[in-house]
Amino acid sequence: MLGFRDPVADAIGLLRPRTVVGPNLRASGTWALRFEAFLHVRIGGLVQGACWLILDGHEPVLLEEGDTFLLGNPPSFVLASSLDATPRPAEPVWTDAEDGLVRIGAESEDDLYLCVGHIGFDDSNAALLTDLLPPLVIVRAADAQGTRLGQLIDLLATEVREDATGGSLVQNHLAQILLVHMLRAHAGQTDRPMGWLGALNKDGIGDALRAMHADVARSWNLADLAEISHMSRSTFAQAFKSHVGVPPLEYLIRWRMSLARDALARDTLSISELARETGYRSESAFSTAFRRVAGSSPAQFRNQARKPASSTAGLS
């Protein structure tokens, strides 16, 4: 059955995150590395030392020991020992890593020690999260969540360095935990609208969002959701659109179609089964809604999703 109770867990699960952490960076002296633009998330933190983060189009930021950062759909950016250091491409430096470590400069007790990685998402639903992320989120070591995030970075760096049995699995889970904590921190750092992610912290609106996710197949109407939120229908509709960016029933349709895209891509349900699971009384009603949101029929979407797998079948 489709639908759970936690929209954040739902969304991240639907995005099928692919995580690559490391290698770690140890550096001393004068250095600067330029990283190219990346989809969808870069994430990392400083185990030791300090360096500058220079994101194209933004003011440089000094990162210090214990700080963590997240870059959403980042453009090209530079990590550097100083603002006047001349950057070189990071990719060939990363390629020369040995035992999970990149070293720049002579070994020193005062080395910078950085753990960094990236998280990619399933393209068909990536916008669920990436559209909500700012280019840069920083959690300082002294912030309320700084200690917990610093501990996660320490664990990630250790897993990369030791390359123990099951390390890739541990790294993947730790990176996703770090992502969730960074999203929480961002939600608490800003007063600006953040779509469904920020709305989860709003009384009433968050209750309605969780209810829709818990029973996605229910024939929800505005009155039902307003009652859950303890608001009048007009107040609820206005508040929901203000915080989430779309009317409540439009959000429900978009979430249902995100679930549908995932199920069709993985070919786990027939179209008639998927129609029932997403709250439609007929396959034709589901297909009409899917075409409006996805731009193709469910059958066309599923057939297109099958093509990469079928074209590589039998290759080793």
Q: pLDDT tens digits for 65-120? A: 999 999 988 889 999 999 999 999 999 999 888 888 899 998 888 889 999 988 88
Tell me the C-alpha distance between 189 and 197, whole Å.
Answer: 13
Tell me, rounded to whole angstroms, the distance of Cα 27 from its chain centroid.
28
Number of independent structural domains in the chain: 2
Longest CA–CA span in the chain (Å) reads 68
Place of tokens 């349709």: 253
CB of 228 closer than 8 Å to CB of 221: no
Q: Which two tokens stand for residue 90?
A: 């990071």
Q: Which domain holds residue 255?
A: 198-308
Instruction: Specify the pLDDT at position 148.
Output: 87
Give Rg (Cα) of the chain. Answer: 22
Q: Which residues touch 76 (CB under 8 Å, ≥6 apart)?
A: 34, 35, 36, 37, 56
Q: Which of 206, 97, 67, 88 minimizes the C-alpha distance to 161?
A: 97
pTM of the model: 0.76
Confirm whether 8 is domain-assigned.
no
Q: Which residues of the chain have pLDDT under 50?
A: 1, 3-4, 193, 309-316
Confirm whether 93 is domain-assigned.
yes
H or E element that contains 160: helix 146-162
Task: Enumerate the β-bridge partners of residue 113.
Answer: 26, 48
CATH code, domain carrying 58: 2.60.120.280
Same domain for 218 and 284, yes or no, is: yes
Domain boundary among 189, 208, 225: 189
Same domain for 64 and 46, yes or no, is: yes
Q: Which residues touch 268 (CB under 8 Å, ≥6 apart)?
A: none
Same domain for 49 and 145, yes or no, is: yes
Same domain for 35 and 176, yes or no, is: yes
Domain boundary among 155, 189, 223: 189
CB of 239 closer than 8 Å to CB of 225: no
Same domain for 249 and 121, yes or no, is: no
Q: For 205, list phi and psi in degrees, rounded to 5.
A: -65, -45
Tell me the C-alpha distance between 68 and 35, whole Å.
Answer: 17
Q: Which two tokens stand for residue 127?
A: 């916008």
Same domain for 156 and 227, yes or no, is: no
Instruction: Specify the pLDDT at position 73.
Output: 86
CB of 193 closer than 8 Å to CB of 245: yes
CATH code, domain carrying 231: 1.10.10.60
Instruction: Specify the pLDDT at position 298.
Output: 93
Same domain for 236 and 155, yes or no, is: no
Instruction: Specify the pLDDT at position 1.
Output: 47
CB of 112 closer than 8 Å to CB of 28: yes
